[in-house]
Amino acid sequence: MGASRLSCGSMGGTQSLALPQGRGPHQVGCTDVMVGHTQQGLFLRLFYPCLPRAGAEQPLWIPRYQYCSGLADVAQRSRHWCAPLLSVAIGGFLFPAGSCRVPVSWNGPFKPCSSGYPLIIFSHGLGAFRTLYSSICSELVSWGFVVAALEHRDHSASATYFCTAEAGREEWIPYQRVPQGQKEFYFRKKQVHQRAEECVRALRLFQDINSGKSVPNVLHQDFELSVLKGSVDLSKVAVMGHSFGGVTAVLALVKEPSFRCAVALDAWMFPLENSLYPEVPKPVLFINTEEFQTPESVAKMKRLSSRNSQTKIITILGSVHHSQTDFTFLTGKLISRVFRARGTLDPYKGLDITSRAALAFLQRHLDLEEEFNQWDNLLEGIGDSVVPEAPFCRSNL
């Protein structure tokens, strides 16, 4: 798999970030979209097929220093050293020699499609944010999808913000741990319902755009959302997510009939109440890593697969929980150790398996006229470094 390797200078050596370019036939563009001036609005990074543009700017992988501080808080590490370490991605003061960027075209010209691109709404994991899944989002877009990567405002993101109507002042929403004395299940259940509702609102946003309704972008990016009109097929919509985002995707199937299927990357099934399992109406592809799931979590996945023969469970061997995030492509041993970002499997091979399995599943359930069914064997757990169902491996959630 090809990669764009950008060096990030550091004192006493060089640390590289290699975020892979999509391997499909489409070039990838992205922009940020914020709708509304309150916490009840939406914030997402939009990835889309784009036209070539010479000298295209590439967006920063971590767009603001506040996200570095938030990641340090989530990891329960000192902001004093952890946030500057991460700020390598934005040219922080300890690493002034360079910055790391996503190999896509920032605000690149949208590539129209008369038949319409299928749409994926993507939900991030606990303590993450909209940009940390750029590799999988870019890969799917390169094969002809539009992907809206949400940044949730339920206090599960490491940090996020909204802009008030008064002079565009930023209001930051910090990451919040489970309050002392409160049971985690009830705290997380409330969050997962808010997250799923945000996924539904993201779909409504695209419905508004497709109907010709004016949708102002609070961030005033050099990208007109109206160009999407007629180029997104809203009859072919899926929801996808990682960890907390994986169970968010499952719940979104309950809340919105227009979501035809879900892809759940190493889903954290804990927050979904038992009464909802019989109500999940559509197929789910669970792509697990080897060192995260518990027997209890896998039992919940099997409960869904027993009700729907099209729900599949596979495990990628040699992978860890963060293998499905961009962190796995950080070659610096220190960052990988802090965030447990790598298993024994090559990260590019892990992305290859994840994306191909997802594409095969999406072709099947969105009725796509592509050749992604060439990877159907992966859905049965057949292939190198993949097995059906899930080993009972325990890890800290």
Measured between alpha carbons, how far is 372 from 380 in angstroms, rounded to an integer? Answer: 15
Of 32, 73, 154, 266, catalytic: 266
Closest CA to 205 of 121, 145, 124, 111: 121
Known active-site residue 124? no
Known active-site residue 243? yes
> How far apart, in Å, are the Cα atoms of 114 and each of 110, 111, 125, 361, 380?
13, 10, 33, 23, 34
The answer to whether 157 and 39 have CB atoms below 8 angstroms apart is no
Of 124, 152, 321, 322, catalytic: 321
Measured between alpha carbons, how far is 293 from 287 in angstroms, rounded to an integer? Answer: 11
Measured between alpha carbons, how far is 34 from 43 in angstroms, rounded to an integer? Answer: 4
CB atoms under 10 Å from CB of 391, counted, come to 13
Known active-site residue 266? yes
Q: Which two tokens stand for residue 241?
A: 């997510």
Tell the burial category of 169 from Cβ atoms under 10 Å away from its Cβ (0-12, 13-18, 19+). exposed
Of 243, 323, 336, 355, catalytic: 243
Measured between alpha carbons, how far is 182 from 333 in angstroms, rounded to an integer? Answer: 37
Q: Token pair 């994986």 is at which residue? A: 246
Residues involved in catalysis: 243, 266, 321
